[in-house]
Amino acid sequence: MAHRKPHLPTKTCAACARPFAWRKKWARDWDAVRYCSDRCRGAGASKNGVSGGSDASR
């Protein structure tokens, strides 16, 4: 049986600019995925000037 991992779609992370591959948990919203991890999502949001929500209420 052939290993299928090399055939997965990839994207470049908006925060760290590293490539990352499709994951099953992203199947529903792959088009909306921009970051490779929660850490990059937090760094990308703060780098772009978007607040995380808790700071906006203060």
pTM of the model: 0.65
Phi, psi of 47 (to 5 degrees): -70, -35
Q: Please say if the pLDDT value at position 45 is more than 50.
A: yes
> Comparing C-alpha atoms, which of 22, 24, 28, 25 is closest to residue 10?
22
Which has more confidence, 57 or 5? 5
| Gap between the Cα atoms of 6 and 35, Å rounded | 20
| Gap between the Cα atoms of 16 and 29, Å rounded | 20
Which has more confidence, 23 or 3? 23
| Gap between the Cα atoms of 33 and 16, Å rounded | 14
